[in-house]
Amino acid sequence: MRKWTCSTLFALLLPVLMTASPGMAATFRVGDSVSVTSPAGNDIYIAGGKVVVEENIRGDAVIAGGNIIMRGDVQGDLLVAGGNMVFNGAVTDDARVAGGDITFTERVEGDLIVFGGNVTITRQASIGGDMVVAAGQAVLDGTVGGNLKFAGGNLDLNGEVRGNAIIYRSDSLTVNGSVGGTTIFSAGEVTLSDSASFGGDVMYWAGNAPVDFGRVDLSGKATEDPSLKSRMKWPSEPKIRRKAIPGLFGIWFLYTTLAGAIAVLILILLPKKLFSPAVESLRSSPLKNLGVGLLYFLVTPFLILFFIITILGIPVGLFLSFLFMVSILFSKSLSAVLLARWAERKKYRSWTRPTLFLVSVGFLLTIKVAAAIPIAGWIIVTLVVLTCIGALLSGALEGVR
C-alpha cells in the first residue's frame, strides 16, 4: 500500500517532471543575484532576486525576479514576471510581462502583452505587432505597429499607433500622438493637444466635458456615444467581464506562481538534510502522514484560540497563528519541494539546485493546474498537500527526538 500510494503521487505529476528533464536543451540559472555575462545559445530560464542579462539570448527567455535589467537581445519569446523591470534589449518575437514598474526602450518585433503598475514605452521603443496593456499608469512615447488595447488608470498616448486603438474606461486619457485607424475610448478625463492626430473615425465618451476635436488632425468623423460609459467599463459590464475572466485568471495565476516559485527558490537553498526526515517519512508512511496533516489543519486553529483566550498565552498564540498562515499560504510550494526531493531520492540521484528548482516548479505548476479542476482536482490536491505537510511535521518531530 505504501509503495502504491507514493507511486500514485509521483504518477500524477510525472508529465511535468518529464518535460522538465535535465537533458532538455536549455540553460537554467537560480540564485539571489543572477548575471548573464555570456551569450546563451538556447532557451534560458532564470529565477532570482536581482537578474541582469548583459548578453544576447538565442532562444526564448523565461525570467522571474525582483529587479530585472535586460541589456541583451532575446531572439525568441520573452516571458517575465517580477517587480521593477527595464528592457534595453530587443525581442524578436512576442513579449508577455507582468510586474510593478516596467520600461521598454527597444523594439519588440511581435506582440506585447503587459500588466503592471507603471508601464513606459520610450520614444526609441517600437512594438511590431499588437499591444495590450493593463496598468495603473501607462506612457506610450514609442510606436505600435498594430492595434492598441488599454485598460486601467491613466494613459498618455504621445507616440504613434498605426492600427486601431481601444481604450477601455480609464481615469484619464491624454493624446499628444497619433492613431492611424479607428479610435474608441471611454475616459473620465480627456485631453487632446494640437499635435493629436486620428486617421479614422473616433467614437468616444468623456466624463469631464465635451471633447473639442477642432484643434486636432481628424481624418474621419468624431461621434460621442454615451452608451460607451457603461459598455466600456472594464470589467464591470457583464459581457466584458465574461471576456475578461480568462485574462484576469491568467494574471492571478502568473502572480501566484511567481510567489510560489520565489518560495521554492528559498526552500531549495536550505540544506538538503532538513528535508531528509520528511522524505523518509513520505516514503515509508504516506497514510500516516495524511492523517497527521489532516489533524494539523483541524486542531491548530483551536490550539491557537486556546492560547489567545488564556491571556498569558497570547504571544504563543500569535506565533502559532503566524506559522499556521505561512503553512497555508505556501503549502503548495512546500509540497512541491518535498515531492522534488522525494523524486530525487527515488531516482537515486543528487540533482543540482537549478535542476531541483525546475523540477519543484514543475510539481508546483501541476498542483496549481490540478487545483483549478473542480471536485476531482480539489480532492487530489488536498490529499497531496495534507500528505506532504504531514510528512514535514513527522520529519520535524523525528528530528527533535
Mean pLDDT by 10-residue block, N- to C-terminus, for the chain (401 residues)? Answer: 39 38 59 85 82 92 86 92 90 90 95 92 96 92 96 93 90 93 91 93 84 89 82 46 51 70 81 86 89 92 86 80 85 91 81 85 89 88 92 79 57
Strands of 202-246, DSSP E: 202-206, 217-218, 222-224
CA distance 143 to 158: 9
pLDDT at 32: 75
Residue 393: how many CB atoms within 10 A of its CB? 18
Give, in order, the Cα–Cα distances in Å from 47 to each of 27, 43, 55, 86, 262.
12, 14, 17, 16, 8
* CB-CB contact of 113 with 130 (8 Å): no
C-alpha separations of 269 from 49, 253, 354 in Å: 13, 24, 10
Tell me the three-class secondary structure of 346-396, residue by residue.
HCCCCCCHHHHHHHHHHHHHHHHHHHCCCCHHHHHHHHHHHHHHHHHHHHH
Q: Are 337 and 360 in contact (CB under 8 A)?
A: yes
Please give the pLDDT value at position 109. 96
Q: Cell numbers of 262, please? A: 520565489
- The burial of 35, by beta-carbon neighbours within 10 Å (0-12 exposed, 13-18 middle, 19 or more buried), is given as middle
pLDDT at 166: 93
Report d(CA 291, CA 200) in Å as an integer.
66
Sheet with 165-175: strands ordered across: 26-36, 43-53, 61-70, 78-87, 95-104, 112-121, 131-140, 148-157, 165-175, 183-192, 202-206, 222-224
Q: Residue 392: which of 284, 280, 308, 305 has the closest Cα?
A: 280
Angle (CA) 71-61-359 rounded to 5° is 135
Burial 284-313 (b: 16+ CB within 10 A, else e): ebbeebbebbbebbeebeeebeebbeeeee
Compute the distance between CA of residue 142 and CA of residue 140 in angstroms, rounded to an integer: 6
The pLDDT score that the predictor gives to residue 15 is 38
Task: Give the pTM.
Answer: 0.60
Record the cell numbers describing residue 401, joined without a space.
527526538
Cell of 362: 514543475
Best CA proximity match to 46, nearest among 69, 72, 27: 27
pLDDT for residue 10: 39
